[in-house]
Amino acid sequence: MEIQDRVAIVTGAGSGIGCALAEAFASAGTRVVVADLDGPGAQATAERIRSNGGSAVAARADAAATEDIAALIALAERNFGPVDIYVANAGIIGASGLGTDEDWETILDVNLRSHIRAAKLIVPEWVSRGHGYFVSIASAAGLLSQIGAAGYTVTKHAAVGFAEWLAITYGDDGVGVSCVCPLGVDTPLLDAVRGATESDVRMSAASIVQSGSVIGADQVAAATLDAVAADRFLVLPHPEVLGMYRHKGSDYDRWISGMRRYQRSLRQG
C-alpha cells in the first residue's frame, strides 16, 4: 500500500513500539490518530509528530472496547478522512503461569479481541472501498512460545491466526494485512517484565533477552512500514526467528524437548 497521504490509527501509541510506529507513519506522510489508555502519553506522541511537521491527533482510548474503537474511527474521519490503515499494537504481557479466569479475560480482550473488534468495525468499509490495511503487532511468541506466560503465548498465537484469516478472507477484496513478530524490543513493557519480583516473570524476561538481541522500537517500526509498502504479511524484525520457526516445524517433538531444556537452564540460572 502507498503510505503517503493515508490516514492511520495506531493503538498503544503512547510509548514503545506504538509510539515508534505512529512517528514513523507520520514521517512517511500518513496522518495519524495516536491512541493509548495513557492519555498524556498519547498527547506527547502527537505533539512530537506535529513538532516535526507531521499531522496527528491524540485520544485516550481502550483498544479493547468497541465504543472506543468506534470513537477513534470517528475522530480520524472528522480530522483527516476515512481510515486507511489500522495498527493493532496495544498489548500486555499478562500474568505468569496459568493465571486466573480474570487474568485470561483481560489478556484475551487486549491481545486478541481488540483486533477482532477493530476488524469488525473497519474491514467492511475497506471492502466496499476496495482498499485498506490491517497491521497486527503480535510477537515471536505467536510463532514459537513464551516461557513462563501461558496467556501471552496463547493470545499471540491467536493474534497471528486471526491476521492469517483476515489476509486469506479479504485479500482478494483489497484488504492488506501485515503481522509483526519481534523478539525482545527495548520498551517499557520489557522493562516491566525485567523488573518483576516473581521468579516466573523474571525467567520469562530472561528467555526473551537471551533468545536474541534486544532491538529498538524504531527498528520494528521501520520493518513494519517496509512490509506495509510491499504488502508483505510476515514481518520479522529479528531475522533469526525464521530459522527458529522452521526448526520448530521440521521436528515438533525435538523442538519441545529443546524448549524444556532451555526452561530448566533458566530456572537453574
Q: Which residues are catalytic?
A: 152
Cell numbers found for residue 130: 476496495
**Contacts for 51 with CB less than 8 Å, ≥ 6 apart:** none
CB 119 within 8 A of CB 166: yes
- Partner residues linked to 31 by β-bridges: 7
Residue the block writes with cell 521436528? 251
CB 255 within 8 A of CB 248: yes
DSSP line for 23-57: HHHHHTT-EEEEEESSHHHHHHHHHHHHHTT--EE
- Partner residues linked to 173 by β-bridges: none
Residue type, 141: A
What gap in Å lies between CA 189 and CA 234, rounded to an integer?
Answer: 22
What's the DSSP call for residue 15?
S
Residue the block writes with cell 521468579? 199
Residue the block writes with cell 506466560? 149
